[in-house]
Amino acid sequence: MSAWTNIKRVTRYGLVGFIRNGFVSLAAVFIMMITLFTILWVLMIGAGFQSALHWLTEQVDVTVYFTTDASQAQIEQVRKQVVALPEVASSVLISREDALARFKERHANDQVTMEALAELGDNPLGAALEVRAKETSQYASIAKNLSDFQKNTSASGIDKINYQQNEHAITQMTSFIDALRVFGLTAGLILAAAALLISFNTIRLAIYTSRDEIGIMNLVGAGTWFVRGPFLVSGILYGLCGGLITLLLSYPLALALGPGSEGFFPNFNIFTYYTGNFALLLLVVMGGGILLGALSSYLAVRRYLKT
Protein backbone atom coordinates (compact mmCIF):
# COMPACT_ATOMS: atom_id res chain seq x y z
CA MET A 1 0.00 0.00 0.00
CA SER A 2 1.41 3.37 -0.96
CA ALA A 3 2.20 6.03 1.65
CA TRP A 4 -0.21 8.34 -0.19
CA THR A 5 -3.11 5.89 0.32
CA ASN A 6 -2.21 5.70 4.01
CA ILE A 7 -2.14 9.48 4.33
CA LYS A 8 -5.51 9.77 2.58
CA ARG A 9 -7.09 7.19 4.88
CA VAL A 10 -5.62 8.67 8.05
CA THR A 11 -6.69 12.19 7.03
CA ARG A 12 -10.20 11.03 6.20
CA TYR A 13 -10.57 9.24 9.56
CA GLY A 14 -9.22 12.30 11.38
CA LEU A 15 -11.67 14.59 9.61
CA VAL A 16 -14.62 12.25 10.12
CA GLY A 17 -13.67 11.78 13.79
CA PHE A 18 -13.50 15.55 14.25
CA ILE A 19 -17.02 15.96 12.86
CA ARG A 20 -18.62 12.93 14.53
CA ASN A 21 -17.20 13.72 17.98
CA GLY A 22 -18.85 17.12 17.64
CA PHE A 23 -19.16 18.06 21.30
CA VAL A 24 -15.66 16.94 22.26
CA SER A 25 -14.27 18.76 19.22
CA LEU A 26 -16.20 21.90 20.11
CA ALA A 27 -14.79 21.87 23.66
CA ALA A 28 -11.24 21.31 22.39
CA VAL A 29 -11.55 24.09 19.79
CA PHE A 30 -12.94 26.44 22.43
CA ILE A 31 -10.07 25.79 24.84
CA MET A 32 -7.55 26.01 22.00
CA MET A 33 -9.08 29.36 21.03
CA ILE A 34 -8.67 30.67 24.59
CA THR A 35 -5.03 29.53 24.59
CA LEU A 36 -4.20 31.10 21.25
CA PHE A 37 -6.15 34.23 22.14
CA THR A 38 -4.06 34.56 25.32
CA ILE A 39 -0.80 34.04 23.44
CA LEU A 40 -1.78 36.53 20.71
CA TRP A 41 -2.79 39.26 23.15
CA VAL A 42 0.20 38.68 25.42
CA LEU A 43 2.28 39.22 22.29
CA MET A 44 0.42 42.35 21.21
CA ILE A 45 0.36 43.94 24.67
CA GLY A 46 4.01 43.00 25.00
CA ALA A 47 4.68 44.91 21.77
CA GLY A 48 2.83 47.88 23.29
CA PHE A 49 5.05 47.74 26.36
CA GLN A 50 8.11 47.42 24.17
CA SER A 51 7.05 50.49 22.24
CA ALA A 52 6.41 52.39 25.49
CA LEU A 53 9.83 51.36 26.81
CA HIS A 54 11.44 52.51 23.59
CA TRP A 55 9.68 55.85 23.88
CA LEU A 56 10.73 56.21 27.52
CA THR A 57 14.31 55.38 26.62
CA GLU A 58 14.25 58.05 23.97
CA GLN A 59 13.26 60.63 26.55
CA VAL A 60 16.55 60.13 28.38
CA ASP A 61 19.84 61.64 27.17
CA VAL A 62 23.03 63.27 28.34
CA THR A 63 23.50 66.80 27.05
CA VAL A 64 26.85 68.52 26.89
CA TYR A 65 26.47 72.34 26.98
CA PHE A 66 29.31 74.36 25.52
CA THR A 67 30.32 77.84 26.57
CA THR A 68 29.21 80.64 24.24
CA ASP A 69 32.81 81.24 23.24
CA ALA A 70 33.63 77.56 22.54
CA SER A 71 35.34 77.26 19.15
CA GLN A 72 34.20 74.92 16.39
CA ALA A 73 37.44 72.95 16.90
CA GLN A 74 36.71 72.45 20.62
CA ILE A 75 33.16 71.31 19.88
CA GLU A 76 34.40 68.94 17.18
CA GLN A 77 36.98 67.51 19.58
CA VAL A 78 34.27 66.70 22.14
CA ARG A 79 32.08 65.23 19.46
CA LYS A 80 34.89 62.93 18.30
CA GLN A 81 35.42 61.87 21.92
CA VAL A 82 31.71 61.03 22.22
CA VAL A 83 31.39 59.14 18.92
CA ALA A 84 34.36 56.98 19.87
CA LEU A 85 32.56 55.65 22.95
CA PRO A 86 31.08 52.15 22.33
CA GLU A 87 28.05 52.88 24.54
CA VAL A 88 26.90 55.77 22.38
CA ALA A 89 24.02 55.07 20.00
CA SER A 90 23.81 58.53 18.45
CA SER A 91 24.72 62.15 19.03
CA VAL A 92 23.14 65.31 17.71
CA LEU A 93 24.95 68.64 17.63
CA ILE A 94 22.79 71.69 18.17
CA SER A 95 24.51 74.84 17.02
CA ARG A 96 24.15 78.15 18.89
CA GLU A 97 21.73 79.37 16.20
CA ASP A 98 19.60 76.23 16.43
CA ALA A 99 19.59 76.49 20.22
CA LEU A 100 18.35 80.07 19.97
CA ALA A 101 15.70 79.14 17.41
CA ARG A 102 14.46 76.31 19.65
CA PHE A 103 14.43 78.63 22.66
CA LYS A 104 12.40 81.21 20.77
CA GLU A 105 9.96 78.59 19.54
CA ARG A 106 9.52 77.20 23.05
CA HIS A 107 8.90 80.64 24.55
CA ALA A 108 7.00 82.19 21.65
CA ASN A 109 4.03 82.93 23.92
CA ASP A 110 6.14 84.19 26.83
CA GLN A 111 6.25 87.91 26.25
CA VAL A 112 8.58 88.73 29.19
CA THR A 113 11.22 86.17 28.22
CA MET A 114 11.13 87.25 24.61
CA GLU A 115 11.58 90.91 25.61
CA ALA A 116 14.51 90.01 27.91
CA LEU A 117 16.11 88.10 25.07
CA ALA A 118 15.68 91.05 22.71
CA GLU A 119 17.31 93.38 25.25
CA LEU A 120 20.37 91.14 25.48
CA GLY A 121 20.93 91.67 21.79
CA ASP A 122 23.52 88.93 21.43
CA ASN A 123 22.79 85.14 21.44
CA PRO A 124 23.23 84.08 25.09
CA LEU A 125 23.04 80.33 24.33
CA GLY A 126 25.96 78.06 23.69
CA ALA A 127 25.98 75.04 21.36
CA ALA A 128 24.93 71.68 22.82
CA LEU A 129 25.58 68.03 22.09
CA GLU A 130 22.73 65.59 22.83
CA VAL A 131 24.06 62.09 23.39
CA ARG A 132 21.94 58.94 23.40
CA ALA A 133 23.22 55.69 24.86
CA LYS A 134 22.39 52.20 23.55
CA GLU A 135 21.04 51.27 27.02
CA THR A 136 19.78 53.63 29.70
CA SER A 137 22.17 52.02 32.18
CA GLN A 138 25.12 53.29 30.11
CA TYR A 139 24.47 57.01 30.67
CA ALA A 140 26.46 57.07 33.90
CA SER A 141 29.65 55.80 32.22
CA ILE A 142 29.22 58.21 29.27
CA ALA A 143 28.76 61.14 31.66
CA LYS A 144 31.82 60.07 33.67
CA ASN A 145 33.91 59.78 30.55
CA LEU A 146 32.90 63.28 29.43
CA SER A 147 33.43 64.66 32.90
CA ASP A 148 36.96 63.17 32.99
CA PHE A 149 37.60 64.65 29.57
CA GLN A 150 36.47 68.06 30.84
CA LYS A 151 38.78 67.83 33.88
CA ASN A 152 41.80 66.59 31.95
CA THR A 153 41.53 69.02 29.06
CA SER A 154 42.55 72.60 29.81
CA ALA A 155 40.28 74.20 27.23
CA SER A 156 37.50 71.70 26.46
CA GLY A 157 34.88 74.40 25.80
CA ILE A 158 32.40 72.44 27.94
CA ASP A 159 30.24 74.55 30.19
CA LYS A 160 28.31 71.76 31.91
CA ILE A 161 27.09 68.19 31.49
CA ASN A 162 23.51 67.77 32.55
CA TYR A 163 23.78 64.13 33.67
CA GLN A 164 24.37 65.09 37.30
CA GLN A 165 21.11 67.05 37.25
CA ASN A 166 19.18 64.14 35.71
CA GLU A 167 21.11 61.36 37.41
CA HIS A 168 18.39 60.47 39.88
CA ALA A 169 15.63 60.48 37.24
CA ILE A 170 17.73 58.39 34.86
CA THR A 171 18.61 55.81 37.52
CA GLN A 172 14.96 55.57 38.58
CA MET A 173 13.82 55.14 35.01
CA THR A 174 16.47 52.49 34.34
CA SER A 175 15.29 50.39 37.28
CA PHE A 176 11.65 50.97 36.31
CA ILE A 177 12.29 49.86 32.74
CA ASP A 178 14.20 46.78 33.91
CA ALA A 179 11.46 45.86 36.38
CA LEU A 180 8.78 46.35 33.74
CA ARG A 181 10.64 44.11 31.31
CA VAL A 182 11.02 41.33 33.88
CA PHE A 183 7.40 41.66 35.03
CA GLY A 184 6.01 41.72 31.50
CA LEU A 185 8.04 38.72 30.42
CA THR A 186 7.21 36.71 33.55
CA ALA A 187 3.49 37.51 33.47
CA GLY A 188 3.33 36.74 29.76
CA LEU A 189 5.16 33.45 30.15
CA ILE A 190 3.02 32.34 33.11
CA LEU A 191 -0.19 33.18 31.24
CA ALA A 192 0.97 31.41 28.10
CA ALA A 193 2.18 28.36 30.06
CA ALA A 194 -1.14 28.09 31.92
CA ALA A 195 -3.06 28.35 28.67
CA LEU A 196 -0.85 25.71 27.05
CA LEU A 197 -1.34 23.30 29.95
CA ILE A 198 -5.12 23.70 29.90
CA SER A 199 -5.18 23.15 26.17
CA PHE A 200 -2.94 20.10 26.39
CA ASN A 201 -5.11 18.55 29.10
CA THR A 202 -8.31 19.19 27.15
CA ILE A 203 -6.95 17.32 24.15
CA ARG A 204 -5.73 14.55 26.44
CA LEU A 205 -9.24 14.32 27.86
CA ALA A 206 -10.72 14.22 24.36
CA ILE A 207 -8.43 11.30 23.50
CA TYR A 208 -9.09 9.64 26.85
CA THR A 209 -12.70 9.14 25.68
CA SER A 210 -11.28 7.18 22.73
CA ARG A 211 -8.94 4.93 24.72
CA ASP A 212 -11.10 1.82 24.14
CA GLU A 213 -11.16 2.61 20.46
CA ILE A 214 -7.35 2.77 20.44
CA GLY A 215 -7.27 -0.63 22.15
CA ILE A 216 -9.53 -2.11 19.46
CA MET A 217 -7.36 -0.62 16.71
CA ASN A 218 -4.31 -2.27 18.28
CA LEU A 219 -6.17 -5.53 18.42
CA VAL A 220 -7.06 -5.66 14.73
CA GLY A 221 -3.38 -5.11 13.91
CA ALA A 222 -3.34 -1.38 13.15
CA GLY A 223 0.19 0.04 13.08
CA THR A 224 1.21 2.84 15.40
CA TRP A 225 0.79 5.58 12.79
CA PHE A 226 -2.52 4.23 11.60
CA VAL A 227 -3.84 4.62 15.15
CA ARG A 228 -2.08 7.87 15.93
CA GLY A 229 -2.59 9.57 12.56
CA PRO A 230 -6.33 10.36 12.79
CA PHE A 231 -5.87 11.81 16.29
CA LEU A 232 -3.03 13.98 14.99
CA VAL A 233 -5.28 15.21 12.17
CA SER A 234 -8.05 16.00 14.68
CA GLY A 235 -5.51 17.80 16.91
CA ILE A 236 -4.33 19.89 13.96
CA LEU A 237 -7.95 20.72 13.14
CA TYR A 238 -8.55 21.88 16.76
CA GLY A 239 -5.55 24.19 16.32
CA LEU A 240 -6.61 25.48 12.90
CA CYS A 241 -10.20 26.20 13.97
CA GLY A 242 -9.10 27.72 17.29
CA GLY A 243 -6.54 29.89 15.47
CA LEU A 244 -9.01 31.04 12.85
CA ILE A 245 -11.62 32.04 15.46
CA THR A 246 -8.90 33.83 17.48
CA LEU A 247 -7.81 35.90 14.48
CA LEU A 248 -11.40 36.70 13.51
CA LEU A 249 -12.38 37.78 17.04
CA SER A 250 -9.20 39.79 17.53
CA TYR A 251 -9.85 42.04 14.51
CA PRO A 252 -12.90 43.91 15.90
CA LEU A 253 -11.42 43.84 19.40
CA ALA A 254 -8.17 45.43 18.24
CA LEU A 255 -10.20 47.94 16.21
CA ALA A 256 -12.22 48.90 19.29
CA LEU A 257 -9.16 49.10 21.55
CA GLY A 258 -7.02 50.98 19.02
CA PRO A 259 -7.69 54.58 20.12
CA GLY A 260 -7.57 53.63 23.81
CA SER A 261 -4.23 51.88 23.37
CA GLU A 262 -2.70 55.11 22.03
CA GLY A 263 -3.50 56.80 25.32
CA PHE A 264 -2.00 53.97 27.30
CA PHE A 265 1.12 53.26 25.25
CA PRO A 266 2.79 56.32 23.67
CA ASN A 267 3.26 55.99 19.89
CA PHE A 268 1.42 52.63 19.77
CA ASN A 269 -1.94 51.72 18.28
CA ILE A 270 -2.87 48.08 18.86
CA PHE A 271 -5.06 47.90 15.73
CA THR A 272 -2.29 49.32 13.55
CA TYR A 273 0.08 46.80 15.09
CA TYR A 274 -2.44 43.96 14.43
CA THR A 275 -2.95 44.85 10.77
CA GLY A 276 0.68 45.85 10.16
CA ASN A 277 2.07 42.59 11.56
CA PHE A 278 -0.79 40.35 10.46
CA ALA A 279 1.43 37.92 8.51
CA LEU A 280 3.64 37.34 11.55
CA LEU A 281 0.67 37.04 13.94
CA LEU A 282 -1.07 34.65 11.52
CA LEU A 283 2.04 32.50 11.49
CA VAL A 284 2.34 32.53 15.29
CA VAL A 285 -1.35 31.80 15.94
CA MET A 286 -1.96 29.21 13.21
CA GLY A 287 1.50 27.66 13.52
CA GLY A 288 1.20 27.60 17.32
CA GLY A 289 -2.29 26.07 17.09
CA ILE A 290 -1.20 23.35 14.68
CA LEU A 291 1.90 22.57 16.71
CA LEU A 292 0.06 22.53 20.03
CA GLY A 293 -2.80 20.39 18.66
CA ALA A 294 -0.48 17.91 16.99
CA LEU A 295 1.93 17.66 19.90
CA SER A 296 -0.84 17.25 22.50
CA SER A 297 -2.49 14.52 20.41
CA TYR A 298 0.83 12.78 19.81
CA LEU A 299 1.65 12.65 23.53
CA ALA A 300 -1.89 11.75 24.61
CA VAL A 301 -2.24 8.84 22.17
CA ARG A 302 1.19 7.52 23.10
CA ARG A 303 -0.18 6.77 26.55
CA TYR A 304 -2.79 4.36 25.17
CA LEU A 305 -0.71 2.81 22.43
CA LYS A 306 0.48 -0.60 23.36
CA THR A 307 1.06 -3.76 21.43
Partner 1 sequence: MIYFDNVTKIYFQGAPAAVAEVTLSIKPGEFVSIVGHSGAGKTTLLKMLFAEVSPTQGSVFFGEQEIPRLSQKDLLKLRRNIGTVFQDFRLLPTKNIYENIAFALEVAGKSDEDIRADVPHVLELVGLAEKIWNFPHELSGGEQQRVAIARALVNQPDVLIADEPTGNLDPINAHDIVEILKRINDLGTTVLLTTHNKMVVDSVGRRVVTMDQGRVVRDDSHGAYVL
Tell me which residues touch partner 1 (CB under 8 A): 1, 5, 9, 16-17, 20-21, 210, 212-213, 215-217, 219-224, 226, 307
Complex with partner 1: residue 221 or 263, whichever CB lies closer: 221
Complex with partner 1: residue 114 or 222, whichever CB lies closer: 222
Dihedral sign of CA atoms 31, 32, 35, 38 in order: negative
Complex with partner 1: residue 229 or 242, whichever CB lies closer: 229
Q: Choose among 241, 236, 231: nearest CA to 33.
A: 241
Q: Output the smallest distance, CB 207 to partner 1, in A.
A: 13
Complex with partner 1: residue 103 or 208, whichever CB lies closer: 208
Q: Output the smallest distance, CB 233 to partner 1, in A.
A: 14
Complex with partner 1: residue 38 or 234, whichever CB lies closer: 234
Q: Output the smallest distance, CB 14 to partner 1, in A.
A: 12
Q: Output the smallest distance, CB 210 to partner 1, in A.
A: 8
Sheet holding 62-66, edge to edge: 88-94, 128-133, 62-66, 158-161
Q: Output the smallest distance, CB 178 to partner 1, in A.
A: 54
- Let me know: does 292 contact 231? Beta carbons within 8 Å: no
Residue spans of beta strands (DSSP E) within the chain: 62-66, 88-94, 128-133, 158-161
Enter the DSSP assignment of 299. H
Residue type, 244: L
